[in-house]
């Protein structure tokens, strides 16, 4: 009976984790404004994306944008689109949005491990 319960638990865990980013129900970005938004930019307008360095010119941070998808490329695309909608000149990637999985012991010494997913970024406006 214990082995059957373990098998069911692992099967459910696999199903829920493998369906997290299936192309049908992709995560959408969430915005937290720190102040005002700015006029939207056109879809074709470029915004800068900073991964490891901050801009060398003065800027203000005006929003946090989070997209909790397991596909980082999708998350960054969605964050960039949302940043254009709120008038950002650039985004600074600041880390992961969350995690999935459970920390449950299986057997005597095995555990199911948490994994990170999603992206969090700060939307910025250059000061001129």
Q: How far is CA 64 from CA 28, 58, 93, 95, 107, in A?
A: 14, 18, 10, 11, 41
Mean residue pLDDT across the chain: 77
Residue 31: count other Cβ atoms within 10 Å of its Cβ.
15
- Binned average pLDDT, 10 residues per bin, the chain of 128 residues: 55 50 65 92 93 92 91 90 96 75 51 66 93
Q: What are the structure tokens assigned to 53, written together?
A: 């360095």
Residue count of the chain, please give it. 128
Q: What are the structure tokens assigned to 117, written together?
A: 């997913």
* Pure H helices in the chain: 2-18, 72-85
At residue 4, the 3 state secondary structure works out as helix
The pLDDT assigned to 65 comes to: 95
Report if pTM > 0.75.
Answer: no
The C-alpha atoms of residue 24 and residue 107 are separated, in whole angstroms, by 35
């Amino acid at each position: 009976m214990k082995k059957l319960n373990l098998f069911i638990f692992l099967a459910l865990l696999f199903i829920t984790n493998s369906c997290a980013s299936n192309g049908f129900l992709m995560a959408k970005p969430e915005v937290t404004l720190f102040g005002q938004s700015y006029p939207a930019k056109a879809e074709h307008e470029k915004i800068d994306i900073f991964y490891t360095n901050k801009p060398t010119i003065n800027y203000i941070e005006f929003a946090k944008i989070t997209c909790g998808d397991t596909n980082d490329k999708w998350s960054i695309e969605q964050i960039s689109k949302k940043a254009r909608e709120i008038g950002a000149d650039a985004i600074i990637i600041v880390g992961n949005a969350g995690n999935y999985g459970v920390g449950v012991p299986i057997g005597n010494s095995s555990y199911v491990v948490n994994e990170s997913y999603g992206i969090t970024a700060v939307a910025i406006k250059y000061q001129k």
